[in-house]
């Protein structure tokens, strides 16, 4: 017994167990288990295989900067643990307690967190691609700039979560609770919101607050917030919906969830006490949030909209459009002043007469794009692919940065049949 026990604990810890029995077992267990996990995932998993019924407690453990891939942390208490900048790829966190844990910048790709308690945990900038968070409790969790592409978040409680600038492309958020969550600038291309629950405190990717209209367009459900009648978080796919939302389905025309009898209303944000999540004031947004959302979601539908509404004034000034696929997009005459289009695919895009003053087009694909008559004064095209792009009649200035990294000159303008004007010179 002494030999088998000494494998997972130090001499002093073993002596304590032998002399004092189980009186100090809880304290000794924390120290022993942390010592084992510091050795690596192989040693930790071996300990768990030999002691399958042993409770595992690593609350507050210091695991920063560790490589612990494929480790089994299922049903383990990791509350408040420091797990930042570590590699936990393809690991098991099923039913674990990660409340308040710090996982910022960690690799969690392919890991399973089903049923885990992750309330108020921090996963800012974490790599969670392909991970399974189905049914997890993630209220007020920070996922800002986290990569959750193709992640499973079915029935996850994300109320009050900070999802700003997160990558949620092709993620499954069906039946997730997104009330009071902040999704400002999150990438949601191909995201499944079927049956998800939003409220008027939810901040949408376009910076606007949640609405019944947005819910209807995305197959979600809308519920005005009344904390006293807050329904339980939706379970994983196939589980029963909360009583307060059973009468609403994704196909309902209004997508509004009826609330319970009037009671003293308290905002969900105050009830959850989420991390202070900033969102832009509507008056500070220079672009049309709805237009930005439509363009980012589906270029084909955007082009159809422009055909149906030829007189529509496209306002995308200072719009964040980095790394977007906008090939063939109809952006003629659009106001894209100071818009950020770094590394975006604009192949064969129609940018005729567009206002691109001060726009960031670095490393953008402008191959065969139509930039005739476009205003490119102060724009930055460094390393952009401009092969076979049309520039006839476009306007450049001494502040325009060309694809070569050099500034535009009158000689270059004459050679490429474009106009050279001063920054302050008005259009004629």
> Among candidates 249, 258, 262, 192, which has minimal Cα distance to 221?
249
Three-state SS letters, the chain: CHHHHHCCCCHHHHHHHHHHCCCCHHHHHHHHHHHHHHHCHHHHHHHHHHCCCCCCECCCCECCCCECCCCECCCCECCCCECCCCECCCCECCCCECCCCECCCCECCCCECCCCECCCCECCCCECCCCECCCCECCCCECCCCECCCCECCCCECCCCECCCCECCCCECCCCECCCCECCCCECCCCECCCCEECCCCECCCCCECCHHHHHHCCCEECCCCHHHCCCCCCCCCCCCCHHHCCCCCCCCCCECCCCCCCCCCCHHHHHCCCCCCCCCHHHCCCCHHHHHHHHHCHHHHHHHHHHCCCCCCECCCCECCCCECCCCECCCCECCCCECCCCECCCCECCCCECCCCECCCCECCCCECCCCECCCCECCCCECCCCECCCCEECCCCECCCCCECCHHHHHHCCCEECCCCCCCC
Residue 14, pLDDT above cutoff 60 = no
Residue 315, pLDDT above cutoff 90 = yes
Residue 181, pLDDT above cutoff 60 = yes
State which of 20-34, 202-216, 378-392 shows the largest mean pLDDT: 378-392
- The least confident of 148-162, 275-289, 306-320 is 275-289
Place 284 in a pLDDT band, splitting at 50, 70 and 90. Answer: low
- The least confident of 5-14, 52-61, 161-170 is 5-14
How confident is the model at residue 90, as a pLDDT? 97
Give the separation between CA 194 and CA 220, rounded to whole angstroms. Answer: 5
How confident is the model at residue 428, as a pLDDT? 63
Q: Facing residues of 142 across strands?
A: 122, 162
What mean pLDDT do residues 390-411 have?
Answer: 96
Burial label for 152, CB within 10 Å (0-12, 13-18, 19+), is buried
What mean pLDDT do residues 314-321 have?
Answer: 93
pTM passes above 0.75? no
How confident is the model at residue 268, as a pLDDT? 55
- The least confident of 157-166, 206-215, 236-245, 404-413 is 236-245
What radius of gyration do the chain's Cα atoms show?
27
Other residues' Cβ atoms within 10 Å of the Cβ of residue 56? 21
**CA distances from residue 176 to 14, 134, 146, 161, 275 in whole angstroms, order as listed:** 46, 9, 17, 11, 19
What mean pLDDT do residues 111-120 have?
Answer: 97
pLDDT, averaged across the chain? 83
Give the separation between CA 132 and CA 119, rounded to whole angstroms. Answer: 16
Q: Return all residues near 15 (Cβ < 8 A) that are at least 6 apart.
A: none
Q: Return all residues near 28 (Cβ < 8 A) that are at least 6 apart.
A: 9, 13, 16, 17
Residue 1, pLDDT above cutoff 60 = no
What pLDDT digit, counting tens, does each position of 189-246 carry?
889 999 999 998 999 988 888 999 999 989 999 998 654 344 444 333 333 444 334 4
What pLDDT digit, counting tens, does each position of 346-371 carry?
999 999 999 999 999 999 999 999 99
Of all residues in the chain, the percent with pLDDT exceeding 70 is: 79
Other residues' Cβ atoms within 10 Å of the Cβ of residue 55? 11
What mean pLDDT do residues 337-343 have?
Answer: 95
How confident is the model at residue 293, as a pLDDT? 81
Report the largest interatomic distance among the alpha carbons of the chain, rounded to a whole angstrom.
93
Torsion of CA 226, 232, 233, 239, to 10 degrees: -140
Place 424 in a pLDDT band, splitting at 50, 70 and 90. Answer: confident
What pLDDT digit, counting tens, does each position of 126-153 carry?
999 999 999 999 999 999 999 999 999 9
């Amino acid at each position: 017994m002494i030999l088998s026990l000494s494998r997972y604990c130090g001499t002093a810890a073993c002596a304590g167990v032998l002399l004092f029995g189980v009186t100090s077992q809880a304290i000794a267990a924390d120290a022993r288990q942390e010592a084992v996990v510091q050795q690596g995932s192989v040693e930790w998993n071996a300990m768990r295989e030999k002691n399958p019924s042993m409770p595992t407690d690593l609350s507050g453990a210091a695991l920063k900067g560790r490589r612990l891939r494929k480790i089994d942390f299922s049903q383990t208490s990791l509350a408040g643990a420091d797990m930042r900048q570590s590699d936990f790829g393809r690991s098991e966190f099923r039913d674990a307690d990660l409340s308040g844990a710090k996982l910022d910048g960690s690799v969690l790709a392919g890991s399973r967190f089903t049923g885990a308690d992750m309330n108020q945990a921090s996963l800012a900038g974490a790599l969670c691609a392909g991970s399974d968070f189905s049914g997890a409790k993630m209220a007020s969790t920070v996922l800002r700039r986290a990569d959750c592409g193709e992640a499973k978040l079915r029935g996850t409680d994300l109320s009050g979560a900070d999802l700003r600038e997160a990558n949620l492309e092709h993620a499954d958020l069906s039946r997730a609770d997104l009330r009071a969550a902040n999704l400002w600038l999150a990438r949601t291309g191909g995201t499944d919101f079927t049956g998800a629950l939003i409220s008027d405190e939810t901040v949408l990717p376009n910076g606007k607050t949640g609405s019944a209209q947005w819910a209807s367009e995305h197959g979600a459900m809308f519920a005005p917030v009344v904390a006293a009648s807050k329904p339980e978080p939706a379970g994983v796919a196939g589980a029963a919906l909360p009583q307060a939302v059973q009468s609403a389905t994704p196909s309902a025309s209004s997508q509004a969830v009826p609330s319970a009898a009037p009671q003293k209303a308290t905002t969900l944000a105050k009830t959850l006490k989420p991390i202070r999540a900033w969102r832009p004031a509507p008056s500070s947004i220079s672009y049309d949030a709805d237009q930005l959302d439509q363009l980012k979601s589906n270029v084909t539908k955007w082009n159809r909209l422009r055909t149906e509404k030829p007189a529509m004034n496209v306002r995308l000034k200072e719009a964040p459009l980095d790394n977007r696929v906008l090939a063939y997009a109809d952006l003629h005459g659009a106001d894209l002043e100071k818009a950020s289009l770094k590394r975006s695919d604009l192949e064969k895009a129609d940018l005729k007469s567009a206002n691109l003053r001060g726009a960031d087009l670095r490393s953008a694909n402008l191959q065969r794009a139509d930039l005739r008559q476009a205003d490119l004064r102060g724009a930055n095209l460094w390393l952009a692919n401009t092969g076979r792009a049309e520039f006839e009649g476009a306007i450049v200035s001494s502040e325009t940065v060309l694809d070569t990294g050099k500034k535009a000159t009158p000689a270059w303008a004459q050679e490429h049949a474009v106009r050279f004007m001063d920054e302050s010179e008005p259009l004629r």
